[in-house]
Structure 1
Amino acid sequence: MADEIVELAGVPVLVCTADGPKIAGEQDALDVIGQTFAGAEIVAIPVARLDERFFALRSGLAGGIMQKFVNYRLRLVVVGDITGHTAGSTALRDLVVESNRGRQVWFVDDLDTLAARLS
């Protein structure tokens, strides 16, 4: 199954598959961003696609990847359960809360939650 652009609540979203290549660096993020030129405004990336270092904020990976999306004026949505990661990191928990208050980066449980949020 390949990544595909679908419409959720009238917004074109590039929905990445869980079994695609790991996003383990900024170049990997740029490769995904390149797929949005077909018309997506949001990129929904499943937790399984993100390298574990994304959730260890000290690594800087999350910041680097999120900045790439900001630079290209695309919204990033991390889709899936991250409670295992947030349970051990106050900083990550705070990042999720603050991100979900804004419009640029969101953390949601599933695509239905994303669609509801976009409505």
Structure 2
Amino acid sequence: MKIETHLINHLKIAEIITDQVILSTPEEGLDLLGNLYYQGFDGIIIHEQNITPAFFDLKTTIAGEILQKFAQYRMPLIIIGDFSAFSSKSLQDFIYESNTGRQVNFLPSRSEAIQAFPSYEGKEFELITFH
């Protein structure tokens, strides 16, 4: 797993880069959140393919349990992916409702994810990427 750091108007955002599923349980969500929080990150970007497919089946309650951890600790999370492939109306409604807030968002691209993080003290958008 690689963590790509984005500095956006003084916010330190972690983008998780990996080919593996790293988010399958609420415990893994809490571990990820805690590790990145203690490294000084202000938000997290994760890709759909890094999350267990069961997350996107709301009947499993995995999504609610994982996202509750991020909300509880006030760690903004953006999930990047093509969510139009999911036919579940309840999931589409869940995504729509999530996207009306600022805590958890589901967006189609990395560039939209980076731009979605709030500005800091009204300064213009600034992006610095470390590899």
Q: Give the TM-score normalised by structure 2.
A: 0.81
Which segments of structure 1 move beyond 6 Å, counting only runs of 4 or more? none
Report the counterpart of residue 68 of structure 1 in structure 2.
69
Q: Distance in 2 between matches of 1:45 and 1:77?
A: 6
Q: Give the alignment's Cα RMSD to 1 decimal.
A: 1.6
Q: Distance in 2 between matches of 1:100 and 1:11?
A: 20
Q: Distance in 2 between matches of 1:51 and 1:8?
A: 28
Report the counterpart of residue 122 of structure 2 in structure 1.
none
Which of structures 1 and 2 has the larger relative contact order (alpha carbons within 8 angstroms, sep 6+)?
A: 2
SS at structure 2 position matched to 1:3: strand
Report the counterpart of residue 25 of structure 1 in structure 2.
25
Query: Greater Rg, structure 1 or structure 2?
Result: 2
Q: Distance in 1 between matches of 2:91 and 2:75?
A: 21
Report the counterpart of residue 59 of structure 1 in structure 2.
60
Report the counterpart of residue 104 of structure 1 in structure 2.
103
Unpaired stretches in structure 1, ≥5 consecutive residues: none
The structure in which a higher percent of residues are helix is 1
Query: What is the number of equivalent residue pairs in this alignment?
Result: 117
Unpaired stretches in structure 2, ≥5 consecutive residues: 118-124, 126-131
Matched to 1:23, the amino acid is: L
Cα deviation for residue 31 of structure 1 reads 1.8
